[in-house]
Amino acid sequence: MTLKDKSITKVESTTIASWALAVCRTIDAAGIDSQKILDELAIEPSVLIDPHARLPVSQMTQLWRKAVLLTGDEAIGLKVANFVQPTSFNALSFSLLVSESLSDAWARVKRYYAIISNVLEMDIEHGEHESALCFNKIAERHYADEAIDAFMATSYLMAFQVSHGQVTPCRLELERRQPFDSKPFNDLFNCPIKYAANSNKIYYFNSDLQQPFPSANRQLALSNDEAIQAYFQTISQHAFSMKVTEAITIAMSLGNPLRDTVAQSFHMSSRNLQRKLRQEGTSFSELVENVRKELAIKYLTNDQLAVIDVSFRLGFKDPSNFTRAFKRWYGLSPLQYKQQKVK
């Protein structure tokens, strides 16, 4: 498959980085050092506290897998909800807390869920007596079961706490297989749960959806909605550079990423590519360096790859150039980094 083919068929989904922060805090609470996991996955800790940062869903899925493997807890997604803060979803969290009712909050979740992740779409299924918040799959996009568990639990806790325990779900449908120990799910949601379902849905009685929230503040909710719109604008302003970064990553696996080759995959000239990147406050060379910087850590944690192999994989013709670049990025040589990881 060529770079052009890959850049057309593959669209990387992203998640707000604060999700990873909540996952890491949950891992730490279980007595596991999350910093070591972040190092293995080449995730910079500083990214997790950046309110505008986003992570590839593929990287988040690896984090979820590590969390389950190292803690041995299939229900870890449910526990993550306890570490979600009012600032975790940017201004959306505040808007949900001051919504007029759960129905009003759901409308905001449907409208603004892309803030949290664009790996799926939210919808609301209205019924005569009960309605559901639906997590709809998007073709060719994949996510961890634990990510759904976490957002289901977060949705439940938000409604339960804001309503002072008066609003609870009447049933759940989950695509995931039934866990070996389903007690944590039963204890939390306290309603019938159907596993191996065709979709992920959380149902509430319509009367509960319309029950006014004591914390409702329409003016504050609308003000936070404006902040959400501003955040969406920020994301869209950097959309092209994110796509170019993805193309560079693919090109890196095929050899040295050339600007002309990447530009052709977007059906534009090299000059136009640079112009569009400048409009987003970056450049092709800066994106290449960022990709190399992230992949360097990922490759160096692989015991099967020597430093010279990593150097060539990152497109450096001379290993000494890679060593100088790595020292500039991290303050030590690639060999020192590998030896440090062994210790």
Alpha-carbon distance of 102 to 20, in angstroms, equals 26
- The predicted model gives 216-239 an average pLDDT of 75
- The predicted model gives 124-146 an average pLDDT of 90
Alpha-carbon distance of 25 to 151, in angstroms, equals 16
Token pair belonging to 69? 């493997």
Q: What is the pTM of this model?
A: 0.69
Per-residue model confidence as pLDDT tens digits over 12-26: 678 888 999 999 999
* Backbone Cα Rg of the chain: 22
Alpha-carbon distance of 33 to 27, in angstroms, equals 7
**DSSP-based three-state secondary structure for 136:** strand
Q: Which residue has the higher pLDDT, 245 or 150?
A: 150
Residue given tokens 């309605």 in the structure block: 131
Say what the pLDDT of residue 166 is. 93
| Confidence band, pLDDT 50/70/90 cuts, at residue 138 | confident
Say what the pLDDT of residue 172 is. 97
Domain ranges for the chain: 3-234, 238-342
Residue 75 has pLDDT above 60, yes or no: yes
Alpha-carbon distance of 61 to 74, in angstroms, equals 14
Question: Taken in order 185, 191, 195, 201, is the CA torsion positive or negative?
Answer: negative
What 3 state SS string does 88-115 have? CCCHHHHHHHCCCEHHHHHHHHHHHHHH
Nearest CA among 329, 246, 209, 294 for reference residue 39? 294
Say what the pLDDT of residue 186 is. 97
CATH no., domain 3-234: 3.90.1520
Alpha-carbon distance of 102 to 191, in angstroms, equals 18
| Confidence band, pLDDT 50/70/90 cuts, at residue 52 | confident
Say what the pLDDT of residue 28 is. 96
Q: What angle do CA 139, 152, 225 make, to 5 degrees?
A: 85
| Confidence band, pLDDT 50/70/90 cuts, at residue 34 | very high
- The predicted model gives 50-71 an average pLDDT of 89
Token pair belonging to 166? 């008066």
Overall residue count recorded for the chain in this entry: 343
Say what the pLDDT of residue 9 is. 34
Alpha-carbon distance of 229 to 115, in angstroms, equals 10
What distances in angstroms separate CA 107 from CA 104, 165, 299, 313, one per listed residue?
5, 21, 43, 46
CATH 3.40.50.2300 is the classification of domain 238-342: no
Say what the pLDDT of residue 237 is. 60
Alpha-carbon distance of 260 to 278, in angstroms, equals 16
